[in-house]
Amino acid sequence: MVLDERTRRAARDLARRYDCSTSEAIRRAIVKQLDAESKPSAAERKRRRDVLKRLFELFEDTDPADEVRRLKAEDAGF
């Protein structure tokens, strides 16, 4: 890998900060960037949060024991 002087200095600075080799600092930076790019957007996180809240509302008055009994009764025919 060929790095310009500025990037090489930055990699060495990261290596000192992480207390690791320059190669390891570059690897960590790449993985961290990939993780950051892979995260859902704010809009996607809001959509997911809204769906979860709706699920909570739908099951708010559900009694788990009753639900299990109902499902077992439905499965009894199989």
- Separation of alpha carbons 42 and 40, rounded Å: 7
Q: Determine contact, residues 28/34, Cβ cutoff 8 Å.
A: no
Query: Could you report the per-residue pLDDT of 19-37, keeping only the tens digit for each?
Result: 999 999 999 999 999 988 8
Model pLDDT, residue 78: 67
Say if pTM beats, i.e. exceeds, 0.75: no
Residues 6+ apart with CB under 8 A from 15: 21, 22, 24, 25
pLDDT (0 to 100) of residue 52? 95
**Residue ranges for the chain with pLDDT beneath 70:** 77-78
Question: What does the pLDDT read at residue 53?
Answer: 96
